[in-house]
Amino acid sequence: MTTTVSGARRLVLAPLRGLSGAQRVWLLTAAMSAATAALVAGPLSALPAPATGLGVPWPLLAVLFALCEVVVVNVQFRRDAHTISLGELPLVVGLYFVSPVGLVAAQLTGAAVALALHRRQTPMKLAFNVAHFGLEAALAALLFSLVPAHALFGAAGWAAVFAATTFAAVLAVSAMFAAVSLSEGRPAFAGWGREISTGLMFTGATTSMALLAVWMLAQRPQALWLLAVPGATLWTAYRAWVRERERGERLRFLSEVTQAISAAPDLEGAVAALLSHARGMFRAEVAELTLYPAEGSGLPLRTTAGPEGHGQVLRPVPHAGPRPARGAAALFRAGEPVPEGLAGRGYRDAMTATLATERGVFGELVVADRTCEATPFDQEDLQLLGTLAAQASVCLENGRLEKTLVQLSALKEHLRHQAFHDSLTGLVNRALFHDRVEHALSSRRREDGAVIVLLLDLDDFKAVNDSLGHDAGDQLLVEVAGRLEGCVRPGDTAARLGGDEFAVLVDDVEGIGAGIVVAERIHAALRAPVVLHGMEVAVHASIGIARADGIDDAATVLRNADVAMYEAKQQGKNRYGIYEHGMHHSARERLELRTQLRAAVDEDQLLLRFQPVVDLVSGAVVGAEALVRWAHPTRGLLAPDAFIAYAEESGLIVPLGAWVLDGALAQLSRWRADLGTSRPFTLAVNLSPRQLTQPGLAEEVRRLLGLHGVPPSDLMLEITESALIKDTPATLRVLRDLKALGVRIAVDDFGTGYSALSYLRQFPIDVLKISKPFVDDVRRGAEERALTEAIVRIAQALRLDTIAEGVEHADQREALRDMGCGYGQGFHFARPLPAGDLGALLRGPAAVTRSA
């Protein structure tokens, strides 16, 4: 048996880097040719033909060589693409009856003619095959020349022949594997042993036959025909065996592919398995599968497998061209015209086959760019590709395509979900929520009922983010989302609008009551603290509720809920607010108030109330606090909370404060006229932080005191704790100037800020007004009361008077008195009163007796 190479792959061997695979194979061919030439020119040149008595002309032997290369069995499978021939026959005949140089010449000529003319091999392949044939013949002749003339037909001669053909077979297989390795650029010797062993089996049998033929030729040429029968039998056996093996290989390959496709968990994996097997099998750079969806249901999806992960998976192809016809197959080699379906794809060479079921073609398999240009795709490859495609059709069809369509629609669903849901919490996002509200409203236009939108904003969420980190913040949002979902009916929608803002849509309800129920349910659900980084964090939320029927649009309802939520936050957080008509205007009204306030100061819309300050022991009214009110032309009497902040912002607080001071001192001078100078009475006036920074404040106070003829000691100025510590040196200067006038100074709302008591020492302060929460505390428990008591004690140590604010109950008054707190102010004694009422109180004994 002799072997000719038909396959080789491309790669890189280190010393040959920079050369192409083909160039490296040419190099091997040249080396073998050079070795053959050296042998022929050297040791072989002088050797005569063996003395066998029979001379065969070398051209006749060449014809025999050629015939053997024509009558061959092609074994072309995967990488092991080669041909089995009866080449040993002429070789052995040549060893006995032709000179070594003649043998080499016959081998070269015969093989070259057969391979070129009959098998039409490419120049590279032809040269390679002829080169290794020549080398084999030369080496065999050299080996055989060692046998002495008398031993040619004895054991020594036969052994030499077996050695020579064996060596030639091994050399042929090795040369082929070497060529493949060089072509691919990496050692590719897998299967070498198996190839040698099968090769040698045939070589042994052919060599035996050849020796018999040689023996008969030498002894009785007329008996040679007897060999025809075993020869033909042997030849048939070869063919049968090779075909069988080939079939076995194909089946094994197809079952491998089938298994790989079936084992793949999904379509993606199945296609990948198919393509990778196809690439390996056909020695192709690229394999690709285009799947055509059912008519009209979307774009074809193409998966491409290329070298080193170059590829793409199930990518939609907008311009895939028409679906191929059933059984369509194409093959084109480098330089040949490209079939229509493959035009413009940039392939050098390619084959295609279709995947189909009885329902029609659903895919097209393409393998392209043969790794070895020397062995282009041929009809056998195309046939095998067809078999592969048919096999793959069955595997892919078996429920898998349906599964794929489900997968694809699941993917679409997933993408849709992503577009309309919040990725962190999985809740509906703003876009979808808006849609749902719109949809609910349009239903309400057709049927009765209303929709309720709740807008929820976490209170102090920023603090969690800032102190515990964004992870903790995210965790909190996820937890809140989960609890929120638990609060809505199946038909309703919970959404995250962004940040810490959530929303709930309650559809088809009677009235606002349904919204209140949900709001209360949400507050109840949020009551349990959330554990973040092992810490319990309380969750509070302000909720705005808005009702809408078919008339409104989604944007309006959401805005209304937002207004209500803002109001709830204003009211003190962790509560819900219900949108009312008019609330909507509150923002505009707030703006109006600002402009109107200016006029109010000028046009005397302001007035004063006076809340008495009482001696906790005697119950006597020892003073009062002036509190401003705004008699608004349309909105009635407004409390300072409604406008003081604007006055602060706009700077109007300066003229307003001056107006209060002027009015309060005017009133005080009237009361003084009634009371005489002996009875202690101190009138307190609030100073805003902004007023404190006003240059000339002390001068203004002095002027007004003079104007109204009031002794400075009758006036007490209240300054909030936070204003005190804002700008210490400047504040200190102002306070000293005021103090120098002889007025008293009180720290208002003490305890709500954060000043340490000792810090107060540096300020010229006379009175500490204990803020309402500490006053409330005295009723609650020993612990809370201890804190209030501590404030009183330290105030005493600093020689400050103490006034308890917001005293509402008799027991508070008693407790405070027992602690040593000197004075009190609060609804328990009196509300802020018009000047006349306080005057009456001062004149009569009632106030004094009442508190006694």
Binding residue for Ca ion, selected from 686, 731, 802, 851, defined by CB under 5 A: 686
Tell me whether residue 562 or residue 718 sits nearer to Ca ion (CB atom). Answer: 718
Beta strands in 510-620 (DSSP E): 530-532, 535-537, 541-548, 576-578, 606-615
Contact between 837 and ligand C2E per CB under 6 A: no
Show contacts with ligand C2E in window 622-661 (CB under 6 A).
627-628, 639-641, 644, 657, 660
For the record, the structure tokens of 805 come out as 């604010």
Q: Which residues in the 744-773 window bind ligand C2E by CB under 6 A?
A: 748-749
Question: Minimal CA–CA distance to 823: which of 792, 844, 794?
Answer: 792
Q: Which stretch binds ligand C2E (CB under 6 A): 40-48, 223-231, 339-347, 802-810?
A: 802-810
For residue 275 the two structure tokens come to 């393509």
Phi and psi at 385, nearest 5°, equal -60, -40
Q: Which of 354, 686, 802, 851 binds ligand C2E (CB under 6 A)?
A: 686
The whole-angstrom separation of Cα 211 and Cα 154 is 11
Residue 688 within binding range of ligand C2E, rule CB under 6 A: yes
Our finding on whether 801 is near ligand C2E (CB under 6 A) is no
Q: 193, exposed or middle or buried, with CB in 10 Å at 0-12, 13-18, 19+?
A: exposed
- Residue 624 CA to residue 640 CA, distance in Å, equals 17
Q: How many other C-beta atoms lie within 10 A of the C-beta of residue 757?
A: 16
d(CA 638, CA 298): 68
Token pair in block for residue 533:
């980084």
| DSSP category for residue 428 | B
Decide whether 479 or 748 has the Cβ nearer to Ca ion.
Answer: 748
User: Cα(first)–Cα(last) distance of the chain, in Å?
Assistant: 134
Decide: is 749 part of the binding site for Ca ion (CB under 5 A).
Answer: yes
Least separation in angstroms between residue 741's CB and ligand C2E is 19
- From the CB of 547, what's the least distance to ligand C2E, in Å? 32
Q: Which part of the chain contacts Ca ion (CB under 5 A), choosing from 121-129, 522-530, 689-697, 713-721?
A: 713-721
Closest approach, Cβ 620 to Ca ion, in A, equals 20
Min dist. Cβ of residue 643 to Ca ion (A): 16
Binding partner selected for residue 827 from Ca ion, ligand C2E, none, CB under the kind-specific 5 to 8 Å limit: ligand C2E
Beta bridge partners of 607: 629
Residue number, 574 or 802, with CB nearest to Ca ion: 802
Q: Name the residue nearer to Ca ion (CB basis): 106 or 613.
A: 613
639, interface contact from ligand C2E, Ca ion, none, CB < 5-8 Å by kind: ligand C2E
Nearest to 197 by CA among 175, 176, 166: 166
Q: Which does 157 bind (CB under 5 to 8 A by kind): ligand C2E, Ca ion, none?
A: none
Residue 652 C-beta: closest distance to ligand C2E, Å: 11
* Residue 203 burial (C-beta neighbours within 10 Å; 0-12, 13-18, 19+): buried
Count of Cβ atoms closer than 10 Å to residue 499 Cβ? 13
Print the binding letters for residues 787-826 with Ca ion: x by CB under 5 A, - otherwise.
Answer: ------------------x---------------------
- Rounded least distance, CB 842 to ligand C2E, Å: 18
Which partner, ligand C2E, Ca ion, none, binds residue 627 by CB below 5 to 8 Å per kind?
ligand C2E
Nearest distance in Å: CB 685, Ca ion: 9
User: Which of 718/789 has CB closer to Ca ion?
Assistant: 718
Q: Single out the residue of 635, 619, 615, 630 nearest to residue 851, CA to CA.
A: 619
Burial 628-664 (b: 16+ CB within 10 A, else e): bbbebeeeeebebebbbebbbeeebbbebbbbbbbbb
Number of C-beta neighbours around residue 276 at 10 A: 15
Which residue stretch of 56-64, 79-87, 651-659, 684-692 sits at the interface with Ca ion (rule: CB under 5 A)?
684-692
Applying CB under 5 A, which residues contact Ca ion?
686, 718, 748-749, 805
The binding site for ligand C2E (CB under 6 A) comprises 611, 627-628, 639-641, 644, 657, 660, 686, 688, 718, 748-749, 805-808, 825-827, 832
